[in-house]
Amino acid sequence: MAIPTSALQGLTNKSIIELYSVELKADIHYTKTAKTATYSQSNGSGGAGTIITISLTGHGFSTGLILSLDFTSGTGIDGVYTIQSVPTTDTFTVTGTTSQSTSGNVSFNVNATIANPTVYLFHSGNNMKDSLDIVWQSNTYSRMPVRADGFKYSGKGKLPRPTLTLSNLLGTITAILQLTNQITALSDLAGAKVTRRRALSQDLDEVNFPSSVNPYKSGSVDPSAELPREVYFIERKTIENRNIVQFELVSSFDLFGISAPKKLVTRADFRGVGTFVNF
């Protein structure tokens, strides 16, 4: 796999940028600490805006921590967010994708060892500004040679089982596997949620470009615009060596060990099963 190249150069405003998030499974890949907090979203002056301020006493978080937030009340939008600022020891802020004024409760899990992530973000390329990581929806996607294949649906009734291949030249993925395997031996990220996200170059955050101006935008950048997300789960690790680590993915309808219906009725439940006799 090649070294990341500046994938944003030579594009058009309709070019598709592909990004990936990997969300670890609580209590399988990390020891979770469940959190419940309150939030308010505004422009900082009481009007509609994208600043989401979350209040949690003595949270102990720092900027750059990635969280998967579940807004349980109000109209906050569930998703992956990165802490943008920590005004006080009891509050921190993230950035929403849509402007609104709302408030309510939010819940999320963090690693008991806060320094260890629960969400990883990858993109196979760099930005145009300084050839570093790409930023989308205020989240930083690490530049990492990554390739995904096999998403095409055949129409023959069989669900696709894509493969996700990541560079392991620096031992990055092996290090992640070692961390998760300390919690559940030989788990190798099985069950982790992989989301394939795609956006047009015209809607990338302006911070990715020289002078912080997106040359592909049409009018203004719409941070909420994206193609339909595709969600898969890691079924198993298929390859691990010094060069790459590859995983096989399955959809939520094709998870190993899960059958439908979950409850199979037998004669122990109802004597008439398998007969034409009604009791």
Domains detected in the chain: 16-28+116-250 (no CATH), 32-111 (2.40.30.20)
pLDDT digits (tens, 9 = 90+) for 79-121: 999 999 999 999 999 999 999 999 999 999 999 999 999 999 9
Q: How far is CA 138 from the centre of its chain?
A: 13
Residue 257 has pLDDT above 80, yes or no: no
pLDDT of residue 252: 76
Which long-range contacts link 38-47 to residues 24+ away (Cβ below 8 Å)? Answer: 38/103, 38/104, 38/105, 38/106, 39/71, 39/74, 39/76, 39/103, 39/104, 39/105, 39/106, 40/102, 40/103, 41/74, 41/76, 41/96, 41/100, 41/101, 41/102, 41/103, 42/101, 43/99, 46/101, 47/101
pLDDT digits (tens, 9 = 90+) for 182-211: 999 999 999 999 999 999 999 999 999 999
pLDDT digits (tens, 9 = 90+) for 6-52: 556 567 778 899 999 999 999 999 999 999 999 999 998 889 999 99
Mean pLDDT, range 252-270, rounded to an integer: 59
Residue 5 has pLDDT above 90, yes or no: no
Mean pLDDT, range 129-157, rounded to an integer: 88
Place of tokens 């203004």: 220
Mean pLDDT, range 161-182, rounded to an integer: 95
